[in-house]
Amino acid sequence: MSIDHGLSHAPTCRLQPTPVPTQPLFDLRRVFLAQRKIV
Give me the mean pLDDT over the 7-20 stretch: 56
Task: Give the single-character DSSP code of 2.
Answer: H
Question: Counting Cβ atoms within 10 Å, is residue 11 exposed (0-12), middle (13-18) or buried (19+)?
Answer: exposed
What pLDDT is stored for residue 7 in this prediction? 52
Tell me the pTM: 0.33
In the chain, domain spans: 2-38
Helices and strands counted in the chain (H then E): 2, 0
The Cα 10–Cα 13 span in angstroms is 5
Residue 32 has pLDDT above 80, yes or no: yes
Average pLDDT over residues 10-39: 69
